[in-house]
Structure 1
């Protein structure tokens, strides 16, 4: 296998459904992204959708001029690291039953934050070895977020990924 073939076998376009719950509030987003593997780590990369308060994208809004936020999730058997870069920059690390430091930065604010992860699980056989062939991958983690020693909320994130070509085939069959 050539280096290019090996790289292609470790990279896949995916459809991602992100279900985020904060206390009693729930937000669901669907994006297309990329899943790839380097060594023993998996990476999920996508562009975060820009959510306008009025649901419009009229081009005159200050938000429409903002740069998109790129999201990178690094996944290992014991840790998840979430990095966001764009108008908002943040870094959070999640390790089961451990406190981990991170930060949040925007034009208006900058502060350190800490997470305590109470749940971290994925469906079998994830993470896995061999080619990126699967019907669905699910990753779930729950955590408490602390800012200046104060708990600001309970969060649960569910990340569901399906190969982008599978998603397209299913839509065509309907």
Structure 2
């Protein structure tokens, strides 16, 4: 869905289940476009991190203040005219709606990959609180982008650099001539 955001610096949410490469792609995309970057994990309260570290999925009550804080960050970047890139699983439509409430023209870049590929990535990831055991619950929760949502889906098979170029190309028609 195209919105009238031409020539405005984009506000981008790099979304998907844990292990698809959200952080890597988001950092590279922010660098490529010269935009501020934020990692959604930094917005979680300590109770959420403790819960996930213990292998307990978050419920919607846990996620609500986290999503509002992310939406406020996006909205502030939009208001400042700087744009920005943030990572966020944004697995359900209503989560994306919460983000859009604060930043209506947020663009959702959904990184998607097969369960086996993502599970393998998670199994080899070091220093992250999200255990592989929660991957099934994330896939069960995932509601793909709908046609009326501003965004695109990219398969995570290509390299992160290739994904960034595809993302920049996807943003170009709605945001003008990006770097």
**TM-score w.r.t. length of structure 2:** 0.28
Decide which structure has the larger Cα Rg and report it: 1
Q: Identify the structure with bigger relative contact order (alpha carbons < 8 Å, sequence gap 6+).
A: 2
Bigger fraction of residues in strand: 1
Bigger fraction of residues in helix: 2
**TM-score w.r.t. length of structure 1:** 0.29
